[in-house]
Amino acid sequence: MYSFRRFKALRPPSIPSARRGSFACPAALSTVEGVVQPVPINRTPKAFATLAEALRAVQSTPQVRIEEIAAPGRLAPWAVAFSAQVTAEGTFLEDDAVDDLATGRIVVLYDPAAPEEWQGPFRIVSYIRAELEDELAAEPMLGHVAWTWLTDALDGRDCDVTAVGGTTTKVISESFGTLAQRPTTVDLELRASWTPVLEDPADISEHVEAWVELIMTVAGLPPMPEGVSPFPGRRR
């Protein structure tokens, strides 16, 4: 029989301890002139920190409520996300008994590796949904029209973009049975993504301002020149 007494217990090599109050692990140690020093883990890149600060400075308006939400964690190493709701309060649509005219989400991604399909280190992913007026819902060129709303919003803010892509979808909701009394509704879903070409990460705010104008247009409240008010009407 083998005797375990012949073997000495193996001990892992000792790891020099970091200074009190800091954390270090073997993968996060570097040596400078023979001295082991901790390396920061998950340090936020300056470019993304600048971008996030600019995004958080974008303010809500009386018609558009903007809130930061949890960003998806698997699309890029760093991400920040916001939701937006367009309300009828204070507009000519206030009496239509519609709480939210449109809702949307926008996610700004950052990957220093600049994925080939992005054509840059940043990427914006957008989703907007709104119920349509009867006349617009019947428009055969609705998809094309909705896409021009996006491009016009970006052009209006002089946003430099590349790798722009997306889809427009018309969603028809019909109710049956115990819900048959509900009217048929038609919603527009606009999904889009694009790569902002930024000289300064802080310039991302122009893209978000363009997106806010886009969601207002989808909601039926397009930005108007100063001193001009939209003609009163009803969505449905």
Per domain, the residue ranges of the chain are: 46-218
Q: Report the distance separating Cα 38 and Cα 170, nearest Å.
A: 54
Distance CA 71, CA 52 (A): 12
Find, among 67, 142, 75, 148, the residue nearest to 105 by Cα. 67
The mean per-residue pLDDT over the stretch 182-203 comes to 94
Q: What is the per-residue pLDDT across 38-66, written as a single tens digit (0 to 9) for each?
A: 444 558 899 999 999 999 999 888 889 99
Alpha-carbon gap, residue 160 to 149, rounded angstroms:
16
H/E stretch holding 184 reads none
User: Average pLDDT, stretch 11-16?
Assistant: 43
Q: How does the average pLDDT of the chain come out, rounded?
A: 80
Helices 204-218 and 142-156, interaxial angle, to 10°?
150
As given in the structure block, the two tokens for residue 69 are 């939400």
Average pLDDT of the segment spanning 14-43? 45
